[in-house]
Amino acid sequence: MDRTVIICLKSVSKYYRRSQETLRVLDHIDLDIYQGEILALLGPSGCGKTTLLRQIAGFDHRESGSLLMDGHEVVQPEVKRIMIFQDFNQLFPWKTVIQNVVYPLQVNRVGESDTANREIALEYLKLVELTGFEDSYPHQLSGGMKQKAAMARALALKPKVLLMDEPFGSLDALTRIALQNLLLKVWQETGVTIIFVTHDIQEAVILSDRIAVMGRETAGIKKVIPNLLDRPRVVGEAGYSEIYGHVYSLMDINPTK
């Protein structure tokens, strides 16, 4: 893995104020994210995973700290950081699949012509295995296919960083595995840095190079765990149980009494 730091967080804090109460969501977060890695932000609901991802995306202001990408402060969303959401309805319902992918290319003036933008869109639809569905509308697609289309739309802009907020959380188990494998294929072919939010330990172990375990009580990152398992990874292989158990021990999970 390339050890070049692409994103650097120093003492990043985010609070929410409710009447007389101040809720700490992120409290002095320090984190370096390396170019070309897959980083999992893992933790229970309400621990600040999505809030941290939104900070990296440039969606929200912060109370304190610095967040740099390529040495420049992140203050707003940019094309070099693209977010994919869990919601299946992130596509424009009145546009076909290829129109959904072409639209941001037109807005950002990526291609020199409509024909060039269409060719770019077709390239990335092929990458995510949606060839043949270019003229379908979102309502004609399964949940997994909608997520593939969202991936193609994001990747067509050639971002440096792909941000994913529980992108496979609403899928059935078999489709989730297929999309995880597709994400690894996309990562290997593009070299894009991927930061994804999950509450699924298995997903974090199967996909990531490092796992940042977050907790409710700390309002931050408990520990960043390197994941040195060889790819492709298989549940139950040598070393899998060890890293799974290590991560599990750090999670805010209360045993059933």
pLDDT digits (tens, 9 = 90+) for 84-106: 988 878 999 999 999 999 999 99
Two structure tokens written together for 147? 């997520």
Domain-ending residue, one of 158, 186, 220 = 158
26 pLDDT above the threshold of 60: yes
Reduced to 3 states (helix: H, G, I; strand: E, B; else coil), residue 150 is helix
143 pLDDT above the threshold of 60: yes
110 and 69 inside one domain? no
pLDDT band of 254, cuts 50, 70, 90? low
106 and 143 inside one domain? yes
- Given this model, what pLDDT does residue 17 score? 82
- Given this model, what pLDDT does residue 256 score? 47
Domain-ending residue, one of 134, 158, 182 = 158
- pTM for the full predicted model: 0.94
Domain holding 38, by residue range, is: 1-80+161-257
52 and 94 inside one domain? no
11 and 43 inside one domain? yes
Give the single-character DSSP code of 80: T
37 and 106 inside one domain? no
32 and 9 inside one domain? yes
Q: Into how many domains does the chain fold?
A: 2
Domain-ending residue, one of 143, 158, 173 = 158
145 and 188 inside one domain? no
Residue 232: asked if its preceding bond is cis (omega within 30°), the reply is yes
- Given this model, what pLDDT does residue 20 score? 78
Contact 1, 228 (CB under 8 A): no
pLDDT tens digits along 53-62:
999 999 999 9
Contacts of 242 (CB under 8 A, 6+ apart): none
Lowest-confidence segment of 37-41, 115-119, 192-196, 252-256 by average pLDDT: 252-256
